[in-house]
Amino acid sequence: MSKKLPKGFLWGGATADFQYEGGFNESGRGLLSHDYETDGSKEHPRHHTMKMPDGSIIEPKSSFILADSVPTEAEPVFLDDEYYPSHNAVDFYHHYKEDIKLMAGMGFNIFRFSVCWSRIFPTGEEAEPNAAGLKFYDDVINEMAKYNMEPLITICHDEMPMNLALKYNGWTSRKVIDAYVKYAKTLFEHFGNRCKYWLTFNEINAVRGFGPTGVRNSEGQDRYQADHNMFVASAKAVKLGHKLIPGSQFGTMFAMSGAYPATCKPEDMFHYLQEKRENWYFIDIMGRGYYPEYAAELLQRHNVKELHMEPEDAQILKEGQLDYIAFSYYRSNTTKAGDDWFNVGGDSNPYLKETPWGWPVDPLGLRYTMNEVYDRIQKPIFIVENGMGAVDKADENDYVEDDYRIDYLKDHLSAMADAINIDHVPCLGYTMWAPIDLVSLSTGEMKKRYGFVYVDMDDKGHGTLKRTPKKSYNWMKHIIETNGSALDE
């Protein structure tokens, strides 16, 4: 079966503001929940730098994988001897014209980026948005329009203005729902005439803890209350967006690394069912518009006594269902009885090779996941992140021969084409993570590179920031110009 994709298929790339944009002191941007997060590595997890009332410094681990609790009395503090990657990232803020031109050169017709919430509302609570912040994204979108590239805007990518985190304990408070809806309305009114596709949140099923959700405690009651408030915020935004932007399409992005039972032992199979529900919980509520029956058992397992819901919430969830299901897919894992419920990454699979960061490579898992999500929700899907983090060796001209990345992408795109052409899964498009090298979310490293374009910068932010296309750049260009047919070559 040919790998050629249907006419109008959206081809592009995806990024997140605090990993890509930089410019943290510019255009009146306020502090963001990630601005006090250090760099790290696989062996040394990233952390926040915080000060206790007695002056001592604490370093709570900060990724969503390892999210330590942050004491109520701890205040964020910048330390001179720490490096904070979000401040400059790879400086899209000053390189947007060059980067968009490079993406257009590959034939992208869509670019997924996230708006930095604290660039629009620096504390999250201003009466009026920050005009200079809006102008930056105006400039970005207008530049994209020159190349007929449309935006896919992530309203909130694992972040919030620091003020909302500190003042309200992040998403545990319904005040943050109001702040988010006001922020989303601003984006709809300002960019709605140029943006049809929106994502209300990024990887909502995986985010937790202080950096991603502004919540000091990453487990149990607080985590699931925060999730409920995000469901309501998303549904309100979807409803409002549909009203303000005729023809708009809304998704939320779910982290969908596939899970397999480690064995066919019934206990492992049942654990697998329950672990799958750790993700379905989010997709079912947002994609079908109501809490599933199994939620009671899941919440009990997570020591949640009772979620606070307002009487109108059920109706809001029903009316604010997603139009399409977006997900990231990087890998799969295995699971067995006795494993932790929050098992990001999970166990490896003896049948699969792994990247240097231990992520199993499983292209068929992408086809499996596309089918599984569509079978269940019956709404179009959108693959909004997929890619391979690898250590690239650049030559003296900064050129990288990344055949391993080409292999990874070829196999995954082929599996995607099979899901679309053979299994008839409706899929709006594919945005690869991340077209231009940027800072890794989980480790804060620069050497975990994903891009088609090499950026001269090291793990501590040193380098010229020069952009140089890798071998995969021209390969991807050819795939896009043939709308997938070249995957058969």
How near is the Cβ of 266 to ligand BG6 at its closest, in Å? Answer: 32
In sequence order, which ranges of 130-173 are alpha helices (DSSP H)?
A: 131-145, 162-168
* Cα 88 to Cα 97: distance, rounded to the nearest angstrom: 17
The HSE-up count of residue 44 (CA atoms within 13 Å, CB side) is 9
441 sits near ligand BG6 (criterion: CB under 6 A): yes
389 sits near ligand BG6 (criterion: CB under 6 A): yes
**Is residue 305 exposed (0-12), middle (13-18) or buried (19+ Cβ within 10 Å)?**
exposed
Give the range of 20-28, 239-247, 282-290, 433-441 binding ligand BG6 by CB under 6 A. Answer: 433-441
**Is residue 307 exposed (0-12), middle (13-18) or buried (19+ Cβ within 10 Å)?**
middle
Kindly report the length of the chain: 489
Question: Given the complex with ligand BG6, which of 339 and 385 has the nearer CB atom?
Answer: 385
**Contact 365/329 with Cβ under 8 angstroms?**
yes
Question: Given the complex with ligand BG6, which of 159 and 275 has the nearer CB atom?
Answer: 159
Give the range of 51-59, 169-177, 414-422, 437-445 binding ligand BG6 by CB under 6 A. Answer: 437-445
**Is residue 240 exposed (0-12), middle (13-18) or buried (19+ Cβ within 10 Å)?**
middle
440 sits near ligand BG6 (criterion: CB under 6 A): yes
Q: How are beta strands 197-199 and 150-154 bridged, if at all?
A: parallel
Locate tokens 């021969």: which residue? 401
Sites for ligand BG6 among residues 246-305 (CB under 6 A): 255
Question: Given the complex with ligand BG6, which of 215 and 316 has the nearer CB atom?
Answer: 215
Among 3, 10, 13, 16, binds ligand BG6 (CB under 6 A): 16
468 sits near ligand BG6 (criterion: CB under 6 A): no
Element (H, E) at 417: helix 403-421
38 sits near ligand BG6 (criterion: CB under 6 A): no
Structure tokens at 258: 């596939």
How near is the Cβ of 389 to ligand BG6 at its closest, in Å? Answer: 4
Question: Which is catalytic among the residues 385, 396, 481, 489?
Answer: 385
385 sits near ligand BG6 (criterion: CB under 6 A): yes
Peptide bond into 434 cis (omega under 30): yes
114 sits near ligand BG6 (criterion: CB under 6 A): no
* Cα 324 to Cα 197: distance, rounded to the nearest angstrom: 10
Residue 385: active-site member: yes
How near is the Cβ of 67 to ligand BG6 at its closest, in Å? Answer: 14
Distances (CA, A) of 379 to 22, 180, 240, 428: 35, 25, 20, 10
Encoded one letter per residue, x for contact with ligand BG6 by CB under 6 A and - for no contact, window 146-185 reads ----------------------------------------
Encoded one letter per residue, x for contact with ligand BG6 by CB under 6 A and - for no contact, window 312-341 reads ----------------x-------------
Structure tokens at 242: 């549909």
Catalytic residues: 385
Q: Which residues bind ligand BG6 (CB under 6 A)?
A: 16, 19, 202-203, 255, 328, 385, 389, 433, 440-442, 448
